[in-house]
Structure 1
Amino acid sequence: MTAASVVVEDARSDDDSPGVEIDPVRWQRLAAACLGTERAVGELTLTFIDEVEIAELNLEHMGIDGATDVLSFPMDDTPIAGVPTLLGDIVISPAVAERQFADHAGTLDDELALLVVHGVLHVLGHDHAEVDEAATMRSRELALLEAHHWAGPAPSGFRHLHAD
């Protein structure tokens, strides 16, 4: 395998945020471009799920009660020669993104892009638990968004962190 591939699925129920349109090809291209820039090789799954399901996953895997915007599940397996590498899974809740974008990334489009990039970086091993890790991760997020989402500098209203 010489490149990264991304499988995208919209697994939301019909009644979850009917106003949030998801363009699977667009988010697939963004994730694949980020993987390419980061020189990752393998397969990634990007799934858009409803708020109830992401809350269940958040409780089950993170021990946190309530919905979140994005969860990443990196694969810890050692690559095997000749077998496609599974990089991991990213799940995003468009409903949560829709609710928080104004106080975060500025627009719903930028919020979804940030969540895709954030998830990709987590799958590739980045973290933000420590101050230095967070600075490195935010720097990579911004660079990837500028290269593959905006094709230029970040808009003035963009923020990595939620407004308090």
Structure 2
Amino acid sequence: MSDGRSSPAPVVDAAAGLVIALAVEDEGWPAMLGADPGPLVREALDAVLTRAGFAAGPPTEISVTLVDDAAVHGLNREWRGQDKPTNILSFPMAALRPGDAPGPLLGDLVLARETCAREAAAEGKPPADHFRHLLVHGTLHLLGHDHEEDGEADAMEALEIAILAGLGIPDPYADDGEDDDHEPNGEQVTR
């Protein structure tokens, strides 16, 4: 397309039981990541579903939309009443609990490029690693994981760390001697 946006293009991998509808609506994503976002998205989502035990199950679809901060800001204000951008928003299609099998439509993930870039730079992380971490975090929200209570947060964090280790990404929560919060600020949205 001439406006720099790409239409959602399903990427089907029947062996993994996953269909990804990826839309890159901000042309800065490939440059920020230093790569085509498609393979990075596939790798992260496959890792989550494999670790959660759903890789061989019935196909499920996840929509991933890569936008700018302004777009996520609008969605965050509309759906969560938060008048600011965030790094990722997760829109589950069903209220799952951890361990529940996903249906044919798992949900939507929307990521904000400028916030992701800013966070990666501030934390000294490669943008592609931070991007995959956010995808793992958001997909776990789609699968019913949350971090509202300490026990849930600890379980979700441990699962994220294990999945990211399998992707060759260091523990994003490792104590770096600073007294800051490493938690992705992306949130699950209730429809």
**1:159: which partner in 2?**
173
Query: Which has the higher mean CA deviation after the structures are superposed, 40-49 or 118-127?
Result: 40-49
TM-score by length of 2: 0.69
TM-score by length of 1: 0.79
**1:97: which partner in 2?**
116
**2:72: which partner in 1?**
54
Give unmatched runs, 5+ long, in structure 1: 79-83
Aligned residue type for 2:170: A
Q: Aligned-residue CA RMSD in angstroms?
A: 2.7
Q: Percent identity?
A: 30
**1:7: which partner in 2?**
20
What's the CA shift string for 1:74-131, capped at 9, x where partnerless? 11179xxxxx611111111122110111334722122111101001100000000111
**2:49: which partner in 1?**
35
Aligned residue type for 2:23: D
Distance 1:59 1:130 in 2: 23
Residue number among 43, 55, 63 corresponding to 2:81 in the alignment: 63
**1:20: which partner in 2?**
32
Conserved? CA contact 1:75–1:88, under 8 Å = yes
| Structure 1 position 31, deviation (Å) | 0.5
Distance 2:29 2:20 in 1: 22
Distance 1:126 1:116 in 2: 13
Distance 1:43 1:117 in 2: 15
**Corresponding pairs, count:** 152
- Indicate whether 1:136 and 2:155 are aligned: yes
**1:72: which partner in 2?**
90
**1:123: which partner in 2?**
142
Distance 1:146 1:124 in 2: 19
Equivalent position SS for 1:65: coil
Distance 2:32 2:115 in 1: 10
| Structure 1 position 6, deviation (Å) | 3.5
Distance 1:90 1:43 in 2: 11
| Structure 1 position 46, deviation (Å) | 1.6
